[in-house]
C-alpha cells in the first residue's frame, strides 16, 4: 500500500526528489519516520556503536575470545629455544621411587643443594615450600618412643638438626626459596614473615594487584639463609589455561608485595638489591605498567630489564613446546651422574613433573606441562628479550578498527550488493588476521583481529539478511504451518480419526524410559561438529530401532538422551516387559556399537572412549496426549511418574548399574533378573521409593547362581537396614564373590562405604534406612 501511495500524483513528486538529490539533499530528509526507524543501515549503525562500546568495556567473554586467539598463535608459532638458560631438577616419579616418598629428609635436600652448587649454577630456585620442621629430624625423633631409650636419646641429641643442615647448605649457595598462597585459612604461621625486594612507584598500583589473604612461608631459618624469596603461583584462567602469571602479588596478612619466583631469581642472579614495580605513567590509564630491574654488573656494565605487564601485574608468557632437554632427574644429581654442563652458569629450578604431586598445568602449547617449566619459560623470556607485549594503545586501535570496518560495510553492502562486498569482507578479514599474526610473529605484539572480524561478519550477515527479508516480505503472505513428530503407529491412528489432532490427553498406566550417555561431554571433545553429529546419529539409530521393535514410542530426543514410552497410543498389555527387554537389548547393541567405534578410532588414529549408557524405567499412571499450543503440539506424556523415570536414569551412575527400575515396573516383571538397590528419596520427592537394578531376563533369573546371589543380597539389605553393620559387611563380601561377571560391584562398593561410615558415626535410632539422593 505504501508503494501505491508513493506512485499517486508522482510527477512533481518525482521531480522534487530528483531535484533535491542533485542539490545534495539527504535521502533521510525525504524518508518517513517509520522508514528511518526500520532502515537496516540505522540498525546496523546502532549495532556497530554497541559493539565498539562493548570493545571499550572489554568484558570477560571478549577477553576470553581474545585469549583464545593468542593461544592459537602460540600453538602454530611457539617460542623456539635457541639457548637453554634454565635447568630443571625434576622430582620425578623415578626419584620418588628411589629416594622415597615426598617430602624428603632435609639432609637429602641439603646434599642435593650442595651437589648442584658444586656445579656452579647462577642461582637455584625452589618451586616447593618447606613450612614445617622435618619430621625425620633428630629433635622430632626424640619426641617419639625412640627417645625413651637413653642410649638412643644420647645419640640423637648429638646429631645436628636436619633443618639446620639444610639451612647451612642454602646459605652457602645462591638460593631463592618459594612461597605460595595458603588454601587452609585455619593454618597459622606465627613466625616472622620474610622481607620483600619490591619497591612500588605509583599510588594506585596496589589496587590492581592480585591479593591473597594468607601466604604459606618456609621455616624462618630457611628463608633467612636464602638470598631471595619468590611466589611460585601458576594458576589457569577461566578455561584452566595458564597464559599470564602474576609477577607480583599482594599478601594481605603479611602486608607485603612479593615478586614471583622467576623474577626474584633473575634479581638475585644479577645482584640487584631491589626491583621496581611501576604504575602506568599515562594519566588516562590506570594499573600496572611494568617491573624494572636495574643493577651494575661485576664487569661495570649497567644491566636493565623492563618486564611488560598488564594492568593487574601479570606477565603474558611466551611458551615453547615442552622441552625435555631441560630436565635432570633429582636422583641423578644425588647419585653424581648428572652432567655438570647442564648446571654451569645456568638458572636451576627444583620442581616436579610427578603427576601425584599435582603440579601439572595446561598452557597454549601443551595440554599438560609441569608448573616448574612455566617458571623456566618466564626466565628465558626475560633473559632473551622474547617477551610478549600487549601495547597500551591496543584497545583504542582495535575499537577504531572495528568502527572503520563497520562503517565501510554499512555504506557499501546496501549500495553495491552482497556479492561484491563479500569479496571486500574476505579481504578485510584476511588483512586484519594476517596483520595481527605478523605483528605477533615479528614484533611479539598482541593485537586482537577476532573482535573486529566478528563484528564485520555480523554486520555483513545482518545487512544481507535484512535486504533479503525485506524483498521476500513484499511477495509472501503469512502462513500458519504445523510440524508434528510422531511414531508411525500414531500416524495410522490419526489417519483413521483426524479429530484426535487436537489439544488434550488421557490418563493411563504406562511405562516410561529415559536413556542417556554417560560422560558425553568428555566424549564430545574428541570430535568436531560434523563428527559429533554423526556419532549421535550412529548411537540413536540402533537404540531407536530396539525401542520401536518392542512396540515403544519415541517421545523426543534431547541431545544424546532418548525419552520413550509404552502402552500409548496403541494398547500394550506387556508394556513393562517390553520396556525391560528393550533396556537389556540396548545394552547388547551398545557393546556391538562400541566395537565398531573402536575400530574406526583405531583406523583414524584418534583415542576411543567407549559409550556407556544409563537407563531409568518406571511404570505408573500419567497423562498422555497432544500437548502444546494451537499452532504446534507434540504427542507426549506428563506426570510425577515421568519425572521419577528421569530421576532413576540419573541414579544409574550412583549405583554403577546400567538400568534402574522403579518398584511398579519390578512388580510387573517378577520373573526378570533384578536386585533391589535401595530405598531412596529422589530429588524433588518427599516419599521414598524402592529401586531395582535390572541385570537380565527370565533365563538368567532361573539360574541357581542368580537365585543364590539374590538371597544373599536380600539378606545383606535386611542386615543393613537393621543396623547390623558387621553382618552387613560380611554379606557384602559374600555377594562380591557371587557372579562377578554381573555389573553390580559398584553397588557393593557403595554399601561398603556406607557401612564404614556408619561404623564410625552410627545413625540415630529412628533411622529408617532411606537414602536421600542429592543429585538428579
Output 296 or 186, whichever has higher pLDDT.
296
Judge whether residue 29 has pLDDT over 60.
no
Which pLDDT does position 155 carry in this prediction? 59
Which pLDDT does position 258 carry in this prediction? 93
Average pLDDT over residues 196-210: 86
Output 774 or 482, whichever has higher pLDDT.
774
User: What burial letters (b/e) apply to 725-760, b meaning 16+ CB within 10 Å?
Assistant: bebbbebbeebbebbeebebeebbebbeebbeeeee
User: What burial letters (b/e) apply to 87-107, b meaning 16+ CB within 10 Å?
Assistant: bbbbbbeebbeebeeebbbbb
Output 656 or 154, whichever has higher pLDDT.
656
Closest CA to 354 of 330, 380, 379: 330
Residues 6+ apart with CB under 8 A from 476: none
Closest CA to 308 of 371, 263, 274: 263
Helix (H, G, I), strand (E, B) or coil at 186: coil
136-150, 183-197, 498-512, 615-629, range with greatest mean pLDDT: 615-629
| pLDDT confidence band for 285 (50 / 70 / 90) | low
| pLDDT confidence band for 210 (50 / 70 / 90) | confident
130-144, 157-171, 475-489, range with greatest mean pLDDT: 157-171
pLDDT in tens, 566-601: 998 778 899 999 999 999 999 999 999 999 999 998
How far is CA 295 from each of CA 52, 204, 228, 270, 305, rounded to the nearest angstrom? 44, 26, 16, 7, 9
| pLDDT confidence band for 472 (50 / 70 / 90) | low
DSSP 722: T
Report whether 648 contacts 616 (CB < 8 A): yes
Give the whole-angstrom CA distance, residue 427 versus residue 432: 9
Average pLDDT over residues 694-721: 95
User: In the chain, pLDDT over 70 holds for what percent of residues?
Assistant: 84
Judge whether residue 477 has pLDDT over 60.
no
Judge whether residue 221 has pLDDT over 70.
yes
Which pLDDT does position 774 carry in this prediction? 66
| pLDDT confidence band for 280 (50 / 70 / 90) | confident
Judge whether residue 500 has pLDDT over 60.
no
Residues 6+ apart with CB under 8 A from 548: 487, 554
Burial class of residue 5, CB neighbours in 10 A (0-12, 13-18, 19+): exposed
Written as nine digits, the cell of 405 is 570496518
pLDDT in tens, 229-261: 999 988 888 888 999 999 999 887 768 899 999
Report whether 515 contacts 586 (CB < 8 A): yes
25-29, 290-294, 578-582, range with greatest mean pLDDT: 578-582
Give the whole-angstrom CA distance, residue 424 versus residue 182: 54
Residue 114's CB is within 10 A of a number of other CB atoms, namely: 15
Which pLDDT does position 245 carry in this prediction? 93
Written as nine digits, the cell of 231 is 611466589
Give the whole-angstrom CA distance, residue 103 versus residue 109: 10
User: Alpha helix locations (H) across 103-149?
Assistant: 106-118, 138-142
pLDDT in tens, 709-762: 999 999 999 999 999 999 999 999 999 999 888 888 999 999 999 999 999 999
Which pLDDT does position 27 carry in this prediction? 44
Gyration radius of the chain over CA positions: 36
Which pLDDT does position 266 carry in this prediction? 95
Rounded to 5 degrees, φ, ψ at 754 are -65, -45
Output 144 or 417, whichever has higher pLDDT.
417
Judge whether residue 120 has pLDDT over 80.
yes
Which pLDDT does position 317 carry in this prediction? 95
Tell me the pairing of strands 256-259 and 215-216. unpaired
Closest CA to 408 of 427, 393, 430, 395: 427
Helix (H, G, I), strand (E, B) or coil at 745: helix
Burial class of residue 688, CB neighbours in 10 A (0-12, 13-18, 19+): middle
Which pLDDT does position 497 carry in this prediction? 52
Sign of CA dihedral 446, 451, 456, 461: positive
Output 429 or 4, whichever has higher pLDDT.
429
Which pLDDT does position 146 carry in this prediction? 52
Average pLDDT over residues 431-455: 91
Which pLDDT does position 47 carry in this prediction? 87
Which pLDDT does position 152 carry in this prediction? 65
Residue 719's CB is within 10 A of a number of other CB atoms, namely: 19
CA dihedral 6, 11, 16, 21 (to 10 degrees): 80
The rounded mean pLDDT for the chain is 84
Closest CA to 508 of 578, 582, 573, 583: 573
Judge whether residue 207 has pLDDT over 80.
yes
Is the peptide bond between 103 and the residue preceding it cis, with omega within 30 degrees of 0? yes
Written as nine digits, the cell of 106 is 632435609
Burial class of residue 299, CB neighbours in 10 A (0-12, 13-18, 19+): exposed
86-95, 110-119, 151-160: range with lowest mean pLDDT: 151-160
Give the whole-angstrom CA distance, residue 297 versus residue 294: 10
Average pLDDT over residues 448-465: 86
CA 366 to chain centre: 15
DSSP 191: S
351: which strand partners?
Answer: 90
Give pTM, 2 decimals: 0.56
Report whether 489 contacts 553 (CB < 8 A): yes
| pLDDT confidence band for 615 (50 / 70 / 90) | very high
Average pLDDT over residues 9-15: 36
DSSP 357: G
Output 309 or 476, whichever has higher pLDDT.
309
Judge whether residue 620 has pLDDT over 90.
yes
| pLDDT confidence band for 190 (50 / 70 / 90) | low
Give the whole-angstrom CA distance, residue 698 versus residue 640: 29
Judge whether residue 6 has pLDDT over 50.
no
User: Alpha helix locations (H) across 450-509?
Assistant: 450-473, 488-496
Which pLDDT does position 36 carry in this prediction? 53
Which pLDDT does position 450 carry in this prediction? 87
Which pLDDT does position 37 carry in this prediction? 53
Judge whether residue 32 has pLDDT over 70.
no
Give the whole-angstrom CA distance, residue 253 versus residue 68: 35
Rounded to 5 degrees, φ, ψ at 106 are -65, -25
Judge whether residue 228 has pLDDT over 50.
yes
Written as nine digits, the cell of 33 is 519516520
User: Alpha helix locations (H) across 176-260?
Assistant: 220-225
| pLDDT confidence band for 53 (50 / 70 / 90) | confident
Helix (H, G, I), strand (E, B) or coil at 627: strand
Judge whether residue 401 has pLDDT over 50.
yes
pLDDT in tens, 509-540: 999 999 999 988 888 888 888 889 999 999 99
Average pLDDT over residues 340-352: 94
User: In the chain, pLDDT over 90 holds for what percent of residues?
Assistant: 49
79-83, 149-153, 429-433: range with lowest mean pLDDT: 149-153
Judge whether residue 274 has pLDDT over 60.
yes
Amino acid at each position: 500500500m505504501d508503494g501505491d501511495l508513493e506512485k499517486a500524483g508522482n510527477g512533481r513528486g518525482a521531480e522534487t526528489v530528483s531535484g533535491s538529490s542533485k542539490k545534495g539533499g539527504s535521502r533521510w530528509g525525504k524518508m518517513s519516520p517509520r522508514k528511518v526507524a526500520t532502515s537496516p543501515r540505522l540498525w546496523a549503525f546502532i549495532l556497530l556503536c554497541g559493539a565498539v562500546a562493548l570493545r571499550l568495556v572489554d568484558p570477560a567473554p571478549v577477553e576470553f575470545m581474545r585469549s583464545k586467539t593468542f593461544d592459537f598463535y602460540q600453538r602454530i608459532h611457539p617460542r623456539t629455544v635457541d639457548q637453554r638458560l634454565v635447568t630443571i631438577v625434576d622430582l620425578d616419579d623415578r626419584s620418588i621411587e628411589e629416594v622415597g616418598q615426598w617430602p624428603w629428609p632435609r639432609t637429602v635436600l641439603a646434599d642435593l643443594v650442595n651437589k648442584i652448587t658444586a656445579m656452579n649454577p647462577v642461582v637455584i630456585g625452589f618451586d616447593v615450600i618447606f613450612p614445617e620442621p622435618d619430621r625425620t629430624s633428630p629433635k622430632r625423633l626424640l619426641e617419639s618412643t625412640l627417645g625413651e631409650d637413653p642410649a638412643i636419646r644420647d645419640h640423637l641429641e648429638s646429631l645436628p638438626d636436619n633443618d639446620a643442615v639444610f639451612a647451612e647448605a642454602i646459605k652457602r649457595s645462591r638460593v631463592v626459596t618459594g612461597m605460595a598462597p595458603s588454601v587452609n585459612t585455619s593454618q597459622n604461621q606465627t613466625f616472622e614473615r620474610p622481607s620483600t625486594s619490591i619497591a612500588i612507584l605509583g599510588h594506585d598500583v596496589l589496587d590492581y594487584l592480585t591479593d591473597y589473604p594468607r601466604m604459606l612461608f618456609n621455616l624462618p631459618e630457611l628463608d633467612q639463609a636464602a638470598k631471595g624469596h619468590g611466589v611460585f603461583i601458576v594458576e589457569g584462567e577461566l578455561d584452566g589455561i595458564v597464559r599470564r602469571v602474576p609477577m607480583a602479588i599482594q599478601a594481605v596478612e603479611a602486608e607485603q608485595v612479593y615478586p614471583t619466583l622467576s623474577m626474584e631469581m633473575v634479581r638475585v642472579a644479577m645482584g640487584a638489591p631491589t626491583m621496581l614495580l611501576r604504575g602506568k605513567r599515562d594519566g588516562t590509564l590506570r594499573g600496572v605498567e611494568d617491573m624494572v630491574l636495574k643493577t651494575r654488573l661485576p664487569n661495570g656494565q649497567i644491566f636493565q630489564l623492563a618486564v611488560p605487564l598488564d594492568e593487574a601485574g601479570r606477565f603474558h608468557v611466551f611458551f615453547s613446546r615442552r622441552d625435555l632437554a631441560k630436565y635432570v632427574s633429582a636422583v641423578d644429581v644425588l647419585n653424581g651422574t648428572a652432567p655438570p654442563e647442564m648446571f654451569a652458569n645456568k638458572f636451576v629450578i627444583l620442581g616436579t613433573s610427578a603427576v601425584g604431586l599435582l603440579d601439572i598445568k595446561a598452557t597454549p602449547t601443551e595440554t599438560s606441562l609441569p608448573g616448574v617449566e612455566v617458571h623456566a619459560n618466564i626466565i628465558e623470556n626475560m633473559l632473551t628479550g622474547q617477551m610478549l607485549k600487549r601495547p597500551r594503545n591496543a584497545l583504542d586501535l582495535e575499537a577504531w578498527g572495528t568502527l572503520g570496518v563497520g562503517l565501510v560495510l554499512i555504506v557499501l553492502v546496501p549500495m553495491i550488493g552482497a556479492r561484491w562486498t563479500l569479496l571486500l569482507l574476505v579481504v578485510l578479514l584476511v588483512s586484519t588476521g594476517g596483520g595481527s599474526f605478523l605483528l605477533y610473529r615479528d614484533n611479539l605484539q598482541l593485537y586482537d583481529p577476532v573482535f573486529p572480524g566478528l563484528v564485520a561478519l555480523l554486520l555483513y550477515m545482518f545487512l544481507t539478511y535484512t535486504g533479503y527479508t525485506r524483498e521476500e516480505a513484499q511477495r509472501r503472505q503469512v502462513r500458519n504451518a504445523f510440524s508434528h513428530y510422531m511414531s508411525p503407529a500414531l500416524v495410522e491412528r490419526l489417519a483413521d480419526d483426524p479429530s484426535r489432532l487436537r489439544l488434550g490427553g488421557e490418563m493411563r498406566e504406562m511405562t516410561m524410559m529415559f536413556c542417556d550417555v554417560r560422560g558425553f561431554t568428555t566424549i564430545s571433545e574428541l570430535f568436531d561438529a560434523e563428527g559429533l553429529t554423526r556419532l549421535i546419529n550412529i548411537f540413536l539409530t540402533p537404540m531407536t530401532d530396539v525401542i520401536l521393535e518392542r512396540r515403544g514410542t519415541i517421545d523426543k530426543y534431547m541431545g544424546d538422551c532418548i525419552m520413550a514410552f509404552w502402552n500409548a497410543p496403541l494398547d500394550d498389555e506387556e508394556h513393562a516387559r517390553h520396556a525391560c527387554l528393550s533396556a537389556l537389548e540396548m545394552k547388547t547393541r551398545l557393546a556391538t556399537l562400541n566395537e565398531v567405534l573402536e575400530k574406526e578410532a583405531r583406523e583414524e588414529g584418534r583415542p576411543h572412549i567407549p559409550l556407556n549408557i544409563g537407563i531409568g524405567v518406571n511404570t505408573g499412571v500419567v497423562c498422555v496426549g497432544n500437548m502444546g499450543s494451537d499452532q504446534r503440539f507434540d504427542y507426549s506424556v506428563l506426570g510425577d511418574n515421568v519425572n521419577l523415570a528421569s530421576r532413576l536414569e540419573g541414579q544409574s551412575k550412583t549405583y554403577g548399574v546400567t538400568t534402574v527400575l522403579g518398584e511398579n515396573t519390578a512388580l510387573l516383571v517378577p520373573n526378570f533378573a533384578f536386585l533391589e538397590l535401595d530405598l531412596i528419596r529422589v530429588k524433588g520427592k518427599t516419599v521414598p521409593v524402592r529401586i531395582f537394578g535390572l541385570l537380565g531376563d527370565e533365563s538368567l533369573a532361573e539360574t541357581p547362581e542368580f537365585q543364590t546371589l539374590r538371597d544373599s543380597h536380600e539378606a545383606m539389605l535386611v542386615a543393613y537396614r537393621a543396623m547390623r553393620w558387621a553382618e552387613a559387611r560380611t554379606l557384602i563380601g559374600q555377594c562380591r564373590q557371587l557372579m562377578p561377571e554381573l555389573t553390580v560391584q559398584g553397588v557393593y562398593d557403595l554399601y561398603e562405604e556406607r557401612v564404614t561410615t556408619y561404623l564410625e558415626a552410627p545413625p540415630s535410632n529412628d533411622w529408617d534406612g532411606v537414602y536421600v539422593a542429592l543429585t538428579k
